[in-house]
Structures are given as structure tokens and as C-alpha cells.
Amino acid sequence: MAGHSGLGYYLRRVLRVSLETGTMAHLLHRVTGLLIVVYLFLHIGAMSYTYFDAGSGFDDLMATFASTPFLIVDLVLFAGVMIHGLNGLRIMLFDMGYFSRRQKELFWVMMAIAATSVLIATWLVGAAHGWW
Amino acid sequence: MGGGELQQTVHIHASKRSFWLWFLQRVSSVGLIVVLLFHMIVLHYVDPSAEITLADTHVRLQSFLFIIVDSLLLGFGLFHGLNGVRNVAYDYFPKPGTRKAISSILLIVGVVVFVWGAFVLVNLVLAG
Amino acid sequence: MITALTLQELDVENVVLRGVIDLVVFRIFRFDPARNDAPTFQTYDLPDTAGMTILDALIHIKENMDSTLSFRRSCRSAICGSCAICANGKNLLACNTQVNDLKKVRITLEPLPGFPMMRDLVVDWEPFFDQYRSVKPYMVARSTPPEKERIQDQKTRKAYDEAAQCIMCSACTSSCPVVWTDGNYLGPAALTKAWRFVADDRDEITRERLAMVNNEEGVWRCHTIFRCTDSCPKKIDTAGSIESLRKKIIWHQLTGRI
């Protein structure tokens, strides 16, 4: 008889209501990390455009990226990078032997910093593109 | 895949590779914090209304600093990202054979994309 | 008085118990491999749970309501580690957790995750103890002992004070999401045990111990999720112990001692 284990069991359990801070931080770290990897490949792909088209193709592409939907995607990416980076900092503090007993508080401190920076970035981008 | 039940295993051999991959994941993360912040702030948030053009990018890449930052970004980013994917995949695919396949594929992808990225970067610096 | 029926009608999940609700519904995981194809949940209503531990409730159910219910217990005083179970998704010792402290009117009891199931709340611990044995959970001192005892100062003793409290209930290892999908990972209990002897200066095989955990399925598989630390009934910072092991290995690696 299969045990209470395996990938299917993992997915069912890890996403349950008993999601506490440490697990949430871990899952956020994973999801944001994987999203950033996908973006990294898209980014390298977009930059490759400069090799294939020395004309105005690249400039047109960049102009498209400056439109509102893409700017929102940019801000989501920025949020992902801030969450991943600050939680990464949190993990490295544990690695150095600090805050192991304060991991939950540290998570919320990091997320507060991330939220603030995303708000500031949104305000800057919005102001530059006449959102308000 | 799956088969996550605890199995009897005796680990007596140290694996220098797993140590170094873990350690370099930390080193590259510190590098990325510096380089990525620089990249994002300078390109997108100092003047968010500025439009990125090929000509500007070419001019910017004449600066040694930007060449270094962009190369490090490519290297650190690929290593940190793909080694991260490896860490995630290893959790969910415990079989040695599957792991070996995943590692090899990620290594090949990493090397190919790094070479291609470096090629594009050099092309940007020289030709614009 | 709120009855079982009104409880189901209201679907109350988060009512503070004390003084408000005097009935708790236990949803207990039932599985007998000889009779059932798949596990089911059976509910038992228990009035007046004030002052009752989860283990008291289980014993009450077994003695008065359903003698077929299987669970493990021995000392009833949080020292043997036999009664570790998963209550409302959190691993704990049934014997030192008050039912009302969970502050829920429905309590789901399951066997510990990550281990093979045997029957009802009983899991097969053999794989867990295999992992545990593989880190040599005993002191190895081959040098000639002094006339009386091997002296250790208080400061060194303090380094593994926490780790030495482990009662091997497996709540930490069972709570780890990495263990659920990668059964070869040593897990927090075995790694904390390794740290307990690495930190002990009377032990003489530190380098061998570090080599044992310095691999893909050892300390580097830990992602500091802290579920282990959260679920330890003895309040051991098991994730912190793994980090201490890592720090030691890093210094040994970087200074060429491995």
C-alpha cells in the first residue's frame, strides 16, 4: 500500500488550509523563481532580435513593451523579483545562523519591504506614463 | 517519479558537487542582487518614460561597466535560475536516472543559452 | 447546548471553544489494508472535551465507542514519542495537546504524512529508523578514556542542548514536504541527530559524520521551510540544527579539511 507520500500527496497537502508562514514563503520562492527563469529566457529571446533585425524592428518591439499591458507585466515581474530576492536574503540570514527562531516575523518584514518597493515602482511608472 | 516513501539508504560518501552547487547558488544570488538591482533601476526606474532603442542600447554598451554588468547578469542569472530549476526538480524526481537526465539537459540548455546570449551581447556592442 | 446537528447546519469551523461549544467532532482517518481498498474518514462526536488531551479522546473513543480504532501510544507523558499524529494538518504529540487548545469544533486526525500506512493512525516507522540509524546515532570515541569520565565543559554541552532533547517521535521528518516527495532525503530528525554528535566534542568521528550528511540527500536538500521546527513537540530548532551542520561543512570545505 502506497504511503502518505509522493507528488500527488505533496500537492494536495502543501496547498491545504494549514499553510503556515514557512511553507508559504517556500512556495512563493519556488513559484516566483520559476516565473523569473521563464522571463529570463523570454528576455534573452527579445534581445536576440537585435541580431536578426538591424533595422527598426527592435525599436518597434520596445515600443510595444512600453504599452500599458506590458508595463503591468513588468510591475508583476518586479514584484516577483523583490519577493524572491528578499526571501532569498531571509534564507541566507538563516544560513549564516541568524533569525532561525524569528523566521515568521522576518518573512513579513521582508514582504513589507517588497510591497513598499512595488508601490513606489508602480507610482513612478504610473506617473511617467500618465496613469494619474 | 513519485515513490516518495522512505527507503533504506546509507549515505557515507560526501558529494563535493552538491556542496559547490549549493554554495555557488548563494554566491550567485548575492551577485544577482547587486547586478539585477543596477540593471532594473538604471533601465526602467530612473526614467520610466524613456523608450529603449537599439541606438541607445548600442551607445550604453560602449561603457565597460555596462558590458560587465550585462555579462554577469547573463552568467549569474542562467546559473542561479537553472540550478534553481534543478533544486526544484530534484525534490519531485528522486530517481537517480531521472535526476541525471534533468541535470544533463539543464547543463546543455545553460551552456547553449549562455553562448548564444554572449554572442548577441558582443553583436550589440560591436554592430548595434 | 449546541448539538451535532446544529453544528453541521452552521458549518462552524473557527469557533473559540472554551465556554462556547461543548461538543467536538473528530474526523478520524480509517484504513485497514486487509479489508479496505481506500482510506475513509469516520466521525465521532465527543461532548465535554475540557481538560482532555487528543490521546485521552482517542482512548475514550476506543474504549467506549469503537474498539476497532488503532493508534500508537505508550507513555502518555510526552517522552516516548509514540503518539505523534497529524491533527488538522499539523504534526504533534496526541498526549501533550489539549483538544480545546486547537480551538476548532472539527478535528481531523490523520496518520503522520510521508510514511507507509499500516492501519488507521499507525504508520510504518521502519524506514524512519533506517534513516536514523544511518547517521550513527551514538558517540564514537576510540581514544583511551581518562580514568574517570570524558570531561566536557558547560559551554560545549550547551551547543547541543536542544538537539539532545529529541525523543524521536518523527513529527519533524514527517512534516517536511521534501520528505513527502523524496524518500531518500535524510530528513530533519536524522540530521538533527547528526548535529547532536558533531557538536559533542567527546565524539571523535566528526569528519566522517560531516561526510555522511554532506551530499545531495543530506543537508543540501533542506530548503529551510521550517515545518520541522514548527512541529517539534520538544521545541527543538531542527531547521537551525541543519543550518549549523551546513555552516560547519562550509568551513571544512573552504579550509580544505574535507
Q: Which chains touch A (3 or more CB pairs under 8 A)?
A: B, C
Per residue in C223-246, pLDDT (tens digit) is 999 999 999 999 999 999 999 999
Fold type of domain C126-254? Fumarate Reductase Iron-sulfur Protein; Chain B, domain 2 (1.10.1060)
Domain C4-123 falls under CATH 3.10.20.30: yes
Element (H, E) at B77: helix B64-92
Chain A residues touching residue B5 (CB < 8 angstroms) = 2-3, 5-6
Which comes out higher in pLDDT, residue A30 or C47?
A: A30
Q: Is B9 part of a structural domain of the chain?
A: no
C216 closest CB neighbour out of B6, B7, B15? B15
Res C163 pLDDT > 60: yes
Domain ranges of chain C: 4-123, 126-254
Residue A105 belongs to domain spanning:
22-128
Chain A residues touching residue B45 (CB < 8 angstroms) = 121, 124-125
Q: Is B2 part of a structural domain of the chain?
A: no
For B75, nearest residue in chain A (alpha carbons): A40
The dihedrals phi and psi of B8, each to the nearest 5 degrees, come to -70, 120
Predicted confidence band at C20 (pLDDT cuts at 50, 70, 90)?
A: low
Closest CA relative to residue B39, chosen from A127, A77, A92: A77
C-alpha span between C207 and C220 (Å, rounded): 17
C-alpha span between B101 and B89 (Å, rounded): 11
Q: Do A51 and B123 touch (CB under 8 A)?
A: yes
Q: Is B78 part of a structural domain of the chain?
A: yes
For A130, nearest residue in chain B (alpha carbons): B49
CATH number, domain with residue A85: 1.20.1300.10
Per residue in A15-73, pLDDT (tens digit) is 665 568 999 999 999 999 999 999 999 999 998 888 887 677 888 888 888 889 999 99
The whole-number average pLDDT for the span C34-43 is 93
Q: Is B7 part of a structural domain of the chain?
A: no
A97 closest CB neighbour out of C114, C115, C247? C247
C-alpha span between B69 and C133 (Å, rounded): 49
Q: Is A119 part of a structural domain of the chain?
A: yes
CATH number, domain with residue B110: 1.20.1300
Chain B residues touching residue A30 (CB < 8 angstroms) = 88
In chain B, the number of structural domains is 1
Report the greatest alpha carbon distance in chain A: 64
Per residue in A61-116, pLDDT (tens digit) is 888 888 899 999 999 999 999 999 999 999 999 999 999 999 999 999 999 999 99
Residue B91 belongs to domain spanning:
16-126
C-alpha span between C73 and C77 (Å, rounded): 10
Q: What is the ipTM of this complex?
A: 0.90
Paired strand residues for C110:
C86
C-alpha span between A23 and A27 (Å, rounded): 6
Q: Is A86 part of a structural domain of the chain?
A: yes
Give the CA angle between residues A2, C242, B22 to the nearest 5°. Answer: 90
C-alpha span between C199 and C196 (Å, rounded): 5
Res C11 pLDDT > 50: no
